[in-house]
Each structure stands twice: as structure tokens, then as C-alpha cells.
Structure 1
Amino acid sequence: MRKIFSVLLLGITIFTFAFNHPALAADAGNGAKVFSANCASCHAGGKNLVQANKSLKTEDLEKYGMNSAEAIIAQVTNGKNAMPAFKARLKPEQIEDVAAYVLEQAEKGWK
């Protein structure tokens, strides 16, 4: 009985951790490489050279509802306004990695 309880508790703990940390599957290190090759021409240092008021800094991500991996993934995948879609150029895993990188850099203030 104790063994069953321990296994059940371990499963609940792992599930809870995974649910609260879904972005851990993405690789921000790889995202940095993909960002550098595909995004930095318009978003160097977290800026936005096309629309300066819509930077990748925390305040702007929050202001425009882009402060989640899901929102960034959708934007990068499908594009919007002046931003092109990258779904034909990047694999879904690469886009997830870019989202993780953007969120990580935003938390650090793009330093």
C-alpha cells in the first residue's frame, strides 16, 4: 500500500511540475541561434525596427498580449501585420525554441 501511495504521489508531483512548467521542453539556447538567423534583423536586442512601440520587452509583450509561449508561437508561425509568417521556413520545434528564448530574454531585460 505504501509503495502504491509513493508511486501515485510521484506521478502527481511530476504532472504538477510539467503542467506548471510547459516551456521547459523548448530549448532557449537553440532559440537564440534561430532568433539570430531569422529574427534579429528586425528584433535585435528585443527592439522592433518596424514598429518601435511593439518591442519584445516585457512591458510591451504584456501590453499587446504576447507574454506567453503560445502567443509568440502563433505570431511567429502565422505572422501578423508587417511580420511575415515563418511556418514555411522554420520547424515547429524551432519556433517553440524561439518563443522560449524571447521570453527568457524579456525576463532578463534583453541584456
Structure 2
Amino acid sequence: MFQNNCASCHPNGENIIRRGRTLKIKALSKRGLDSSEAIAQVAREGIGQMSGYAETLGEGGDVIVGEWVWQQAQKAWTQG
């Protein structure tokens, strides 16, 4: 789901539009996004210049994206 909806702006947890607003653990924590639920809320409702994607992600899609992004952030976006 991330690859289809988020990766174009956030490849490997980066941010091609606002470089400091990455999905890396340090950047997320700095903005108070310290859980999968907080990330899901951003995916659903948007934040700053980023629009929300509730309709695009569908019911429960925000939770799937939030959990996956949080797991990747905890692993520093490394494979394995």
C-alpha cells in the first residue's frame, strides 16, 4: 500500500518535497509522531502541505500504512 500511495514522495522514508520532513524516526519524533496511530492519522488527515489520503487509502488503509511506516522507521528503513 505504501509503494502505491506514498513512495513517490517518500522513497525509502525520505521526502522529495520537504527534505527535513522525512519518515525517519528522529524526524517523526521531532514532530510528535511517535506511534503507528499518529502516523495513520497523518496518512488519513494530512499535515502541513500534505493532504490527507483517507479516501485513497480506503477503510483501514491508514492503519496499514501507519503500522508499516512505524516498523520501517524503527529499523531505520533498512531491509530485513
TM (norm. structure 2) is 0.90
Is structure 2 residue 76 aligned with structure 1 residue 109?
yes
Query: Any idea what the Cα deviations from partners look like across 1:51-85, whole Å, max 9, x if unmatched?
Result: 11111001111111112122111111111222121
Is structure 2 residue 48 aligned with structure 1 residue 89?
no
Q: Which amino acid aligns with 1:85?
A: G
Q: Is the 8 A contact 1:58 1:106 kept in 2?
A: yes
Corresponding residue for residue 70 of structure 1: 37
What percent identity do the matched residue pairs reach? 35
- Looking at secondary structure, tell me which structure has more helix per residue: 1
What displacement does 1:92 show?
A: 3.1
| Residues 1-111 of structure 1 aligned to structure 2 (within 5 Å) | 34-111=1-78
TM (norm. structure 1) is 0.66
The count of residues paired between Structure 1 and Structure 2 equals 78
Q: C-alpha distance in 2, partners of 1:66/1:86?
A: 17
Structure 1: which 5+ runs fail to align? 1-33
Larger Rg: 1
Runs (4+) of structure 1 exceeding 6 A deviation are: none
